Amino acid sequence: MGRADVYPQPQAPDPVLPSAAVLELARRHVSANGVTGVDESGGEARVYVVDHDVLIKTQRPHRVRPRTSLAKEAYLLDALAGTLHPYLPTLLGYGRIDTDHGEVEYLCLSRVPGAPAGRTPLAGRARSTLMAELAVLLRRLHSTRIDDDRVPRDPDWAALRRRLAFDFEDAADAMPRRPSAWPVPLTMRELRRRALATLPSTGPWQPALIHANPGPPHVFVEDQRLSALIDFGDSYVGHPALDLHRWPDPADRVRLHDRYRDEWPAGDSFDRVWSVAMILADVKEIGRDSARARTAAADLVRRVDQL
């Protein structure tokens, strides 16, 4: 397993498909009249809106990365349709087709209700309720048994340690841009060493199917309640604690963790993994100089003191 976010063809052309080509894809699975929008907010994916309620999702060629797979996402949407209903988009079709613009791999999906949580003002009780609802949904996801070669798997504690080590490298790449914001008396190398040293190396390994990024872009909200979880292209079988640190605000991550533990009182090793993930999340927020950088810095200080 190498670093997660490597793009092997960064210079690949990235054309927007003409409406006729998009409709050709959609009509292989549903009736379709017109393209009503194009959404590129996902970064790696481009989503074409057809008749307002159907989506054609493609991967942007220059942002294709090994860990993301539309074929895997299609498989999981089908496999999870019963378990996570009604919080998933409906898989209407998947395929590859040769077009005048080259081969296009795509998903045809129903459009989910609501809007991404990152674009939805939520505060107080509504925010706590969302974290509680998401925790219950994630526990349902993590309880689903998946054993298919299309879904990568971390087989043991050593694989988890390698994954987190690569994540620390990715986080370190952002830090030189914000040296004055670094709040702890440790270098990134020292922080990585001390954090990884807290992880178990032996003992029961209980991996689960995880989403990999159930954060504000992929959690949808309608009327201030959880309405959907989208984008399973990065999913893999790994440690479930790694689904609980994807929110910018440390307080949200703590709420999500605490409600999740109400659903599943996991042992001490779970919280040790989650604490390392929290450190990573704090470092990334500091490096991004996000709106939550100051609260992330305060959280990082507390967690380093506990190492």
Q: Which one of 56, 78, 110 terminates a domain? A: 110
Residue 291 lies in domain: 116-305
Statement: residue 1 has pLDDT above 70: no
User: What gap in Å lies between CA 269 and CA 241, rounded to an integer?
Assistant: 10
**pLDDT, tens only, 176-200:** 666 677 999 999 999 999 999 999 9
Residue at which a domain ends, from 75, 110, 145: 110
What integer pLDDT is reported at residue 9 of this predicted model? 53
According to DSSP, the residues that pair with 106 across neighbouring strands are: 58, 95
Q: Is 13 within the bounds of a domain? A: no
Q: Token pair of 263, please?
A: 């659903």
Question: Do 83 and 175 fall within a single domain?
Answer: no
Whole-number pLDDT of residue 8: 52
Both 203 and 67 in a single domain?
Answer: no
Tell me how many domains the chain contains: 2
How far apart (Å, rounded) are the C-alpha atoms in residues 63 and 10? Answer: 7
pLDDT band of residue 136 (cuts 50, 70, 90) is: very high
C-alpha separations of 46 from 35, 77, 91, 111, 113 in Å: 13, 18, 17, 14, 19
Q: Tens digits of per-residue pLDDT, 152-168?
A: 999 999 999 999 999 99
pLDDT at 111 (0 to 100)? 97
Residue 192 lies inside a defined structural domain of this protein = yes
Q: Residue 132 has what pLDDT?
A: 97
- Using H for helix, E for strand and C for coil, what is the string for the chain? CCCCCCCCCCCCCCCCCCHHHHHHHHCCCCCCCCEEEEECCCCCEEEEEECCCEEEEEECHHHCCCCCCHHHHHHHHHHCCCCCCCCCCCEEEEEEEEECCEEEEEEEEECCCCEEHHHCCCCHHHHHHHHHHHHHHHHHHHCCCCCCCCCCECCCHHHHHHHHHHHHHHHHHHHHHCHHHCCCCCCHHHHHHHHHHCCCCCCCCCCEEECCCCCCCCEEEECCEEEEECCCCCCEEECHHHHCCCCCCHHHHHHHHHHHHHHCCCCHHHHHHHHHHHHHHHHHHHHHCCCCHHHHHHHHHHHHHCC
Last residue of one domain, picked from the residues 110, 144, 168: 110
Inform me whether the pLDDT recorded for 41 exceeds 90: no
Q: Average pLDDT over the chain, rounded to whole?
A: 90
Backbone φ and ψ for 289, nearest 5 degrees, come out as 55, 45
pLDDT on residue 25:
95
pLDDT at 58: 93
Q: What is the CATH number of the domain that holds 77?
A: 3.30.200.20
Structure confidence at residue 289 (pLDDT): 84
Q: CB of 279 within 8 A of CB of 304?
A: yes
Distances (CA, A) of 255 to 188, 228, 249, 263, 283: 27, 19, 10, 13, 19
Residue 123, amino acid: A
Two structure tokens written together for 187: 């270098």
- Tens-digit pLDDT profile for residues 111-132: 999 999 999 999 899 999 999 9
CB 274 within 8 A of CB 244: yes
pLDDT tens digit sequence for 199-254: 999 989 999 999 999 999 999 999 999 999 999 999 999 999 999 999 999 999 99
Considering the domain architecture, whether residues 86 and 192 belong to the same structural domain is answered as no
**Same-domain pairing of 104 and 125:** no
Q: Which residues contact 5 (CB under 8 A, 6 or more apart)?
A: 65, 67, 170
